[in-house]
Amino acid sequence: MTDHTGRAGLEQDELYAVAREFDQLRVQITVPQAPSDLLDLVTASQQLSTLTGLVKDLSDEVLFRAVDEDPGLDFGPVIDAYTSTAVPAGRAMENYTEAYAQFGFLRHFAEAPDSADLRDARAAAFHVVQERMELVRDDLQEVSDTLRGAADRLDGTPPRVLAALSRSARPTNSIYRLPAEPPAPGPVRLAYTPAPRHGR
CA distance 183 to 89: 45
pLDDT digits (tens, 9 = 90+) for 155-180: 766 666 655 555 555 556 676 666 55
pLDDT at 1: 47
The arithmetic mean of pLDDT across residues 26-31, rounded, is 96
- Give 20's DSSP letter: H
CA distance 89 to 44: 17
- Confidence (pTM): 0.80
pLDDT at 84: 96
Distances (CA, A) of 147 to 48, 70, 90: 21, 23, 15
pLDDT at 69: 82
Residue 16, Cβ density class (10 Å: 0-12 exposed, 13-18 middle, ≥19 buried): middle
DSSP string, 63-123: HHHHT---TTB--HHHHHHHHHTHHHHHHHHHHHHHHHHHHHHHHHTTTSPP-HHHHHHHH
Which residues, 6 or more positions from 21, have their beta carbon under 8 angstroms from its beta carbon?
54, 57
Which residues, 6 or more positions from 137, have their beta carbon under 8 angstroms from its beta carbon?
26, 29, 31
Report whether pLDDT(185) > 60.
Answer: no
CA distance 146 to 15: 10
Percent of the chain, pLDDT > 90?
Answer: 56
pLDDT digits (tens, 9 = 90+) for 40-68: 999 999 999 999 999 999 999 999 999 98
pLDDT digits (tens, 9 = 90+) for 103-137: 999 888 877 888 898 888 999 999 999 999 999 99
